[in-house]
Amino acid sequence: MNPSSAAALAVVLLGAVLVAAVVRPWGWPEAAVAVPAAGLAVATGVISPEHAVAEVTRLAPVIGFLAAVLVLAQLCDDEGLFRACGAWMARSAAGRPRRLLVQVFVAASLITAVLSLDATVVLLTPVVFATAARLGALARPHIYACAHLANSASLLLPVSNLTNLLAFTTSGLSFTRFAALMALPWVVTIGLEYLVLRRFFAADLDAGAQAPPAAEPAPVPVFALAVLGCTLAGFAVASAVGVSPAWVAAAGAAVLAARALPRRHTTPAGIVRAASLPFCAFVLALGVVVRAVVDHGLAGGLGRLIPQGTGLFALLALAALAAVVANAINNLPAVLVLLPLAAPAGPGAVLAVLLGVNIGPNLAYTGSLATLLWRRVVRRHDAEVELGTFTRLGLRSVPLTLLGSVLALWLSLRLTGG
């Protein structure tokens, strides 16, 4: 196959994979199109078998972590962590929607940072729906907060997002150094998101609610919290000794599983389902297809747009470019394409790309897989995602939070000599 035909086929395959992931025809899982597309790319010579194997090898530890942390989050839910969170929000909100919004921000930010954005989307969002209904409050501000924070509050730790883990492995930073550099951008982003959402949904928040009926508080799952704390500490230790965080997440999940299985809180089949193996296969296949597109000129075209250095304006340009690419082709392909181009400029450039691909998808719900999943969760609760509302909110929040987070990153780099 000649180079121009191979390039065209690579673009067509990537387009088909992304469209199928968004539309999910006939309810197919994302992998139903992605895996055959990757196989076709190899079979037709669009990507060499060596490059395909190299990409799978590079992504395998990331996918292992993804599966382990999904199981960890589900087992925490089985222990009652999210029920306890919902009971705390309902009790302490005391019928005040603005107070509830603060609590949703706190819960979603911490859950996203520690258990990854998928836990916020899949496990916390239904709890927020139930809590708002219990208070008689309008759910919309709180549900949209879950969507936004699943993306923008995933900046803090390497384990908070699949894109973070890819950036972490590229940056050469330690776990603690990564967290230290991203702490200020994380706080600034969450603060700006809160200000925007509170103003945007002012009418809904002013509609009032009611005090929840008296109920026994849900028991705090002390064991699950202790395992989470040990797992989080284990991530930092593992990074220092060169051990993949996937092993730490798997160990935490194994401890919870050893407790849950004898108590029949879960089953072996439930654990396998929680690992979301079809989605993991989708991510691997998507990596192969993206590598095929990169091999046929995309990297060269984007490479000409990558600014030099890590000054403030260079970081802003990198983050803006990453946000645009994330909304054009989804944030996971975007980070796979942009990280190798940004890496030569150093960790600051890599983290600027991460800001763009994590915050940018709040502009359009096709920008991240998490937001697509959030849309499905919302629809299962007989609610509808309003495209106009999501886009208007994104237009108000994304430029502001992107600017604020880049300024915070630049300041962190300057203060720590990065």
pLDDT in tens, 14-69: 889 888 877 778 878 888 999 999 999 999 999 999 999 998 998 888 888 888 98
Inform me whether the pLDDT recorded for 348 exceeds 60. Answer: yes
**Both structure tokens of 332:** 């996971």
Give residue for tokens 């019928």: 95
Q: Please compute Rg for the chain using Cα positions.
A: 21
**pLDDT on residue 418:** 63
Task: Give the count of beta carbons closer than 10 Å to the beta carbon of residue 180.
Answer: 15
Cα gap 259→274, rounded to integer Å: 16
Measuring CA to CA, which residue among 37, 64, 63 is closest to residue 292? 37
Residue pLDDT, tens place only, 155-201:
999 989 889 988 998 998 989 999 999 999 999 999 999 999 999 99
**pLDDT on residue 321:** 94
Q: Are 132 and 100 in contact (CB under 8 A)?
A: yes
Q: Are 354 and 335 in contact (CB under 8 A)?
A: yes
Cα gap 68→66, rounded to integer Å: 6
* For residues 289-298, average pLDDT: 82
CA 118 to chain centre: 6
* For residues 3-24, average pLDDT: 85
**pLDDT on residue 13:** 92
Residue pLDDT, tens place only, 362-407:
998 778 878 877 887 887 777 777 878 999 999 999 999 999 999 9
What is the DSSP track for 313-372?
A: HHHHHHHHHHHHHHHHH-HHHHHHHHHHHHGGG-HHHHHHHHHHHHHGGGG-TTS-HHHH
| Mean pLDDT, the chain, whole residue set | 88
Query: Which pTM was predicted?
Result: 0.85
Residue pLDDT, tens place only, 199-227:
999 998 887 666 555 555 678 889 999 99
Residue 270's pLDDT band, with cuts at 50, 70 and 90, is very high
Cα gap 334→347, rounded to integer Å: 17
Residue bearing the bigger pLDDT, 93 or 318:
318
Q: Are 144 and 205 in contact (CB under 8 A)?
A: no
Residue bearing the bigger pLDDT, 333 or 145:
145
Measuring CA to CA, which residue among 34, 126, 76 is closest to residue 369? 34
